Structure 1
Amino acid sequence: MDSFDWDPAELLNLSGGYWSTCALHAGVSLGLFPALAAQPRTVAELAEEKGIPERGLVMLLDALTAMQLLEKNVERYAMTTSATRYLDPASPEYLGHIIAHHHHLMSGWARLDEAVRSGGPIRDRVSHDADEEQRENFLLGMFDLGMLLAPRVAAAIDLSGRQQLLDLGGGPGTYAIHFCRRNPQLRATIFDLPTTRPFAEQTLTRFDMGSRIDFVPGDFTVDPIPAGCDVAWLSHILHGEGRRGCVRLLQKTAAALEPGGLLLVQEFILQADRTGPLFPALFSLNMLLGTPEGQSYSEPELTELLNEAGFRQIERRPLELPNGVGILSAVKS
């Protein structure tokens, strides 16, 4: 018996849902939200400022108003309160970078059928070879998302007895920063690609953490991982690798940890039969589109990978996080 009874309207809303997505992406890409955050504007004023024709602009502004991201008063458009909170770059809760990253992914998702037929990726991963704007949106988008979760995670995990944290593939260092803020005795090392360094250094300066957190450039898939840590944090790293790649990376991380060192793995975690939650299941397709072997993993699969890499005392931390995010901890034998 079906657990959900689709009707034609719901199915068609699902099929055409990308229309709203594209309207949001266009508003971010065209810089409409920052312009309207400054003050309400007419179509003519925005068209002149942005150098674009009024015909398409008024249609987009009206659609964004219908989506309750904007308000229209006579002929002037303004941001709604919630849109200002998340779409004004001056807001500490700004999500524009991750939305721009999602826009970059859309062309690949439109070719999902090709990826399923071929069994391999049809777009390039965001890397040191990526377009600078794409790389910036990805890294700052990861920072935006990290800022939503990192304070909760750092508050829930006791690192009071730990001295040196390794943030593997830590990007701008969001989690390293919050773990260190929560634990005054803790120091940290971010290990990531050289092109990530400017973003990490800007973030460390912003949070006054430059004296406690350093950045070591390298590619964790091929380069040695900095040793001497007693806790390692791997946030959304394993889903980019196949099973063998995960085990190799976990073994390298184990070699970097001191005896008794703590490993923390944060991932979008599938249930045992891999049919939910929804976001990890869809994210697995995102990895199909962009990686040769990456995928979302279930909790039993992650446990098996950790065991194979030599870790013990594996458990899932009791944290309720959005989008199927979960954290597993393990100890180096």
Structure 2
Amino acid sequence: MFIKRKDEVFQEPPINNYSVSKRITVELITVLVIDILSEVKIVTRDISSPNYIKKIAFAVHPALAMLAGINLKVFSLLNDNPMDAQEIAGTLCVRQDKLEPLLYALVTAKLLRLEDNLFSNGREASQFLVPNTSSYIGNHPFLNPLIMSWDFYGALKIADTIRTGIPALKYDFATKSEEELKQDFQHTQPIAMRAGRELVTKFDFSSYQTLVDVGGGPGGLSIAITELCPHIKVTVIDIASVTPVTLWFIEQAGMSDRIQIVTANAVTGPITGQYDVVVLRAFIQVISPLDIPQLLSNIYTIIKPGGMLYILGHILDDSHISPPEEVWHKLGSINYYDVPAPYTEKEHREWLLKAGFAQIERNFLLNDDRVIRAQKPL
């Protein structure tokens, strides 16, 4: 059954609310873009002035200012601690004349308040932009600071990538050094861990005894599932350049005696074992469509009859123009991968049916991960 996203009205979340609501997501990143998109529908829009073009041009500035504030730890510093510009600059060891334009920009973006020359966090900044708090956006697949940095930097390379036909900033897990992968995964691990928690909260995993996280990277999803479902025996499979990093993260989490790590290429195979459930998170979206049928065929062989496959990550509607955040993600991905993803729901369904799967359903998690669930027939 196809489950569409519905427009929802969110109540103002409490200060410790774990979930980053869609309303706040839009306010922080795409409020102007959404306004632009809604205006497209107005046929009688006045085009005598470039107001619409100005909205497009200025839409990104609040997001860039917000990212700079996160990276400079401005929001952490101002959490329950108003300061003037001189105090902030001194504490951060930066020049005041360079910092002040950012502070005023964040006030304009309504992320900071300014009263009596003292800057303080706005309500959304306090709730979502302070690290080490339960509602910090670091575990969100679109709002994680590293992901935003990649998106914004890549945006400057879009024309170059299209012109040459080659990803200007190609990202290849097989050629990254262990230290580079560890550094990147440390930033994205919270996303995978939250996805694992939300997956087992939304769906019933009580009957599963064995689970394999294919392309599991640093093992964040597996760690989260093991914490919440101790009855499940969990395995992570990834390629040889990644599994040493997987081991490091698993050991850091104190899970080396509970999570097995297997080095294998799930596309070229072989992969072995029999599992009640297989999870592919943020994996299909970095695989060439030419290789996906072979990948799913290999996955099919390791699922027990009646077992389930969960595909998590970025998935486009069949229209290719929604959800908006997935459209922007696909545009940015042309700079990093030979074949830009995400793929559409229809493409996923066709690949899954060809591999032999049935009972295909689409859903989503509260963190904005899309989910496609399929079953291997009995």
Q: TM-score, normalised by structure 2?
A: 0.75
The CA distance in 2 between the partners of 1:52 and 1:302, in whole Å, is 49
| Partners of 1:84 and 1:318 in 2: CA distance | 30
Structure 2 match to 1:250: 296
**Matched residue type, 2:290:** R
In the alignment, the residues of structure 1 paired with residue 134 and residue 365 of structure 2 have an alpha-carbon distance, to the nearest angstrom, of 23
| SS at 2:102 equivalent | helix
Q: Tell me: CA distance 1:182–1:26, structure 2 relative to 1, closer, same or farther (3 Å).
A: closer
Report what 1:312 is aligned to.
357
Give the 3 Å change call, closer, same or farther, for CA 109–218 of structure 1 in structure 2.
farther
- Residue 77 (structure 1) aligned to one of 103, 107, 119: 119
One-letter amino acid of the counterpart of residue 188, structure 1: V
Corresponding position of 1:55: 97
Which of 180-189 and 285-294 deviates more? 180-189
Instruction: Report the counterpart of residue 41 of structure 2 in structure 1.
Output: 3
Residues 136 and 72 (structure 1 numbering): CA distance in 2 closer, same or farther, change over 3 Å? farther
Change (3 A) 1:171 1:92: farther
| Structure 2 residue identity aligned to 1:239 | Q
Shift of 1:3: 3.4
> C-alpha separation between the residues in 2 aligned to 1:322 and 1:50?
31
Deviations 1:95-120 (A, max 9, x none): 25822332133222112122223333
Decide whether the 8 Å contact of 1:197 with 1:217 is kept in 2: no
Could you tell which deviates more after superposition, 257-266 or 137-146? 137-146
Partner of residue 155, structure 1:
201
Q: Distance in 1 between matches of 2:60 and 2:177?
A: 24
Name the SS of the counterpart of 2:290 in structure 1: helix
Deviation at 1:75, TM superposition (A): 2.5
1:294–1:219 Cα change, 3 Å: farther
Check if 1:302 corresponds to 2:344.
no
SS of 2:205 mapped into structure 1: coil
Partner SS, residue 171 of structure 1: coil
Q: Secondary structure at the match of 1:33?
A: helix
Which residue number in structure 2 is paired with residue 108 of structure 1? Answer: 154
2:5 alignment partner in structure 1: none
Match of 1:261 among 307, 323, 333: 307
Identity of aligned residues (%): 23
Give the 5 Å matches for 1:199-238.
199-202=249-252, 204-205=253-254, 210-217=256-263, 220-221=266-267, 224-225=270-271, 227-238=273-284
Shift of 1:232: 0.5
CA contact (8 A) 2:198 2:365 kept: no
**CA drift at 1:318:** 4.6
State the aligned residue count. Answer: 327
Structure 1 residues 34 and 148, CA gap change in structure 2 (3 angstroms): same
Offset, 1:270: 2.2
Hey, what does 2:33 align to over in structure 1?
A: none
Q: Which stretches in structure 2 are left out of the alignment for 5+ residues? A: 1-39
Alignment match, 1:331: 376
Distance 1:155 1:107 in 2: 34
- CA displacement at 1:138 relative to structure 2: 4.3
In structure 2, the CA distance between the partners of 1:195 and 1:175, relative to structure 1 (3 Å rule), is closer
Report the alpha carbon displacement of residue 293 of structure 1 after superposing the two structures with TM: 1.8
Deviation at 1:162, TM superposition (A): 1.8
Give how far 1:136 is off: 5.6
CA distance in 1, matches of 2:263, 2:230: 25
Q: CA deviation at 1:267?
A: 3.5
* Cross-structure match for 1:195: 245
Q: CA deviation at 1:297?
A: 1.5
CA spacing shift, 1:136–1:190, aligned 2, 3 Å: same
Relative to structure 1, the CA distance from residue 164 to residue 125 in structure 2 (aligned partners, 3 Å threshold; closer, same or farther) is: same
Aligned Cα root-mean-square deviation (Å)? 3.0
> Secondary structure in 2 aligned to 1:176?
helix
Amino acid at match of 1:55: D
SS of the residue aligned with 1:124? coil
Higher share of residues assigned helix: 1
